[in-house]
Amino acid sequence: MTTHDTEPTAERDSIDGVRRNVLRTLGAGAALAATSGVAGATTGGGRLYDVDDDTSDADIDPQFGFPAASAEVEPPVEPDHEIQILIQPREGAEIPEFFFEPTGLYVELGDTVKWNFVTGHHTVTAYHPGFGYQQRVPDGVPPFSAPAIPQGGYWLYTFETEGVYDYHCAPHEIFGHVGRIVCGSPEGFEPLPDLCAGGPPSEEGAGDETSEGGEGEEEGQEGSEGDGEDEGGEEGEGGGGGEPELRTPAFTAYTVFSDESLAPECIVREGAQPWSTIDPDNKQLFVRIEGFPPCASE
């Protein structure tokens, strides 16, 4: 039983409502621009929503895409592909699997993809320095992201540059909620750094504390956590002193992207790669909730 906005408003009103909400989240300056009808308003150099009232211009923004709060909102263009945003129980863990279905997808230049928010509280966010990540989208692509669209809504994005696009869901990235889209040619793709190069991470980075305390699984987790941060630090330093450190995909995001089924050439060959093709080992959780609720043990 999904509940979404089914107020008897016209479709056009729904679109406007979504746009107003987007603008509201962007701050008062943007809202002011909206009321004065300024098209392509900017704040600090970033292009904001096109707030022109011309209905023929209900385009898909290269940065903000096209958010629709419910399935009733008419899309401005017919999408070429659809991706479902799903959640399913994870065996032996309270944290479920959050995934994009399909997880890997090949699209042609100019294709529009529609993400259906079958479940709520997700985003579709590029790995981009604008969000504090090392760039994992083609050069020149802006830091695009869907807002957190309500359950039952959708988001559209048009792919205007060839290359490989790695994206994630902001709230669930570390649990492996990521996807990869290859647009046209995968040229320029750079694999993730090999965090396991030089031997098991637990024997190098973590030191005495872990070898004394935990064994097996837990030790491995702490080791890989430390190693991941080290790796990010080294790369960040390469980028120039004083610059904020840019992160790489971490934890289950890293292992999902490292799965061979998401290699760009596999995605090109298969067209789409479902979540089920990814090795269960690469879907495992590295972050767990322990000690909650913090009740007295007696």
168 binding Cu ion? (CB under 5 A): no
Per-residue exposure over 177-207, b if at least 16 CB sit within 10 Å of its own CB, e if not: bbbbbbbbebeebeebeebeeeeebbeebbe
Residue 182: strand, helix, or coil? strand
C-beta of residue 271 within 8 angstroms of C-beta of residue 106: yes
Q: Which residue is nearest to Cu ion (CB)?
A: 169
| Sheet architecture: strand order including 66-68 | 66-68, 154-158, 112-116, 81-90, 93-101
136 binding Cu ion? (CB under 5 A): no
DSSP string, 191-260: PPP-TTTTS-HHHHTS-HHHHHS--THHHHHHHHHHHHHHHHHHHHHHT-TTSPPPB---THHHHHHHSG
The pair of three-digit structure tokens given for residue 243, joined into one six-digit string? 């610059």
CB of 1 to Cu ion, least distance (A): 21
169 binding Cu ion? (CB under 5 A): yes
Taking the least distance from each CB to Cu ion, the nearer of 98 and 106 is 98
The pair of three-digit structure tokens given for residue 87, joined into one six-digit string? 């959640």
CB of 168 to Cu ion, least distance (A): 8
177 binding Cu ion? (CB under 5 A): yes
The pair of three-digit structure tokens given for residue 260, joined into one six-digit string? 């061979």
CB of 225 to Cu ion, least distance (A): 21
172 binding Cu ion? (CB under 5 A): yes
N-term to C-term CA, the chain: 41
Residues 112-131 that bind Cu ion (CB under 5 A): 122
CB of 254 to Cu ion, least distance (A): 16
**Contact string 63-102 vs Cu ion (x = CB under 5 A):** -----------------------------------x----
CB of 257 to Cu ion, least distance (A): 15
275 binding Cu ion? (CB under 5 A): no
Residues 184-243 that bind Cu ion (CB under 5 A): none
26 binding Cu ion? (CB under 5 A): no
Q: Given the rule CB under 5 A, which residues bind Cu ion?
A: 98, 122, 169, 172, 177
